């Protein structure tokens, strides 16, 4: 049985906000037909970016998210993660480094270099996310639980980026029909 969209709404839904979905719109209503999925998506975001999550700092997770969104590209999500980093007082040089798609200059932070390289590998060529790619992470001082958390984060970001892209396309189609 599908949840009724108006029975329960999260107080803040990042995807709805990023895409600009509002109650009453066809794309909003389609998305909210399965409220459990909407809630799980927001819940995953909340859990993955919980400041108290161990193994990876919030700043590291936000830098990985920014980097993944720049590589994809997903400009609205990149802007969101950039704004969170700025609000949290992240060093501007680290933000600029994460925004760099080229990585000509490596950061002096081997841990961050390894995380962003792994992110790039999984975003651009997931087949290359093999044993060698994984072993580069502990070599940079990243614990096994942190490697697992990083992999989960990148998988979520990949889902989030695709969800936003699909909803943006649906909303654009809806708006074209409205203006036709």
How far is Cα 174 from Cα 169, in angstroms, rounded to an integer? 9
Residue 11 pLDDT level (bands cut at 50, 70, 90)? low
Is 108 inside any structural domain? yes
Does the structure show a pLDDT above 80 at 85?
Answer: yes
Determine how many CB atoms are found less than 10 A away from the CB of residue 42. Answer: 17
Whether the per-residue pLDDT at 20 is higher than 90: the answer is yes
Q: Which of these, 77, 50, 70, lies nearest to 149 by C-alpha position? A: 50
H-type helices in 24-74, by residue range? 26-31, 35-48, 58-71
Tell me, yes or no, whether 49 lies in a domain.
no
* Residue-number span of the structural domain to which 109 is assigned: 58-179
Query: Does residue 139 form part of some domain?
Result: yes
pLDDT digits (tens, 9 = 90+) for 110-162: 899 999 999 999 999 998 888 899 999 999 999 999 999 999 999 999 999 99
Domains in the chain, number: 1
Residue 47 located in a structural domain: no
Q: Which residue has the tokens 């895409």?
A: 19
Q: What is the pTM of this model?
A: 0.89
pLDDT at residue 9 greater than cutoff 80: no
Instruction: State the CATH number of the domain containing residue 69.
Output: 1.20.1290.10
Residue-wise pLDDT for 62-73, tens only, equals: 999 999 999 999
Name the average pLDDT for the chain.
Answer: 90
């Amino acid at each position: 049985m599908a949840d009724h969209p108006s029975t329960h709404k999260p107080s803040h839904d990042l995807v709805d906000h990023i895409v600009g979905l509002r109650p009453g719109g066809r794309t909003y209503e389609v998305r909210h037909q399965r409220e459990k999925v909407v809630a799980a998506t927001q819940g995953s975001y909340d859990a993955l970016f919980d400041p108290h999550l161990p193994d990876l700092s919030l700043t590291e997770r936000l830098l990985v998210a920014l980097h993944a969104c720049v590589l994809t590209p997903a400009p609205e999500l990149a802007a969101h993660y950039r704004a969170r980093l700025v609000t949290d007082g992240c060093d501007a040089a680290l933000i600029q480094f994460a925004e760099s798609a080229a990585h000509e200059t490596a950061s002096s932070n081997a841990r961050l270099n390894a995380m962003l390289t792994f992110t790039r590998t999984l975003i651009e060529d997931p087949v290359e996310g093999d044993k060698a790619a994984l072993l580069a992470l502990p070599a940079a001082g990243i614990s096994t639980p942190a490697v697992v958390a990083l992999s989960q984060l990148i998988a979520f970001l990949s889902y989030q980026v695709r969800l936003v892209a699909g909803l943006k396309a649906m909303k654009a189609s809806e708006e074209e029909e409205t203006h036709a």
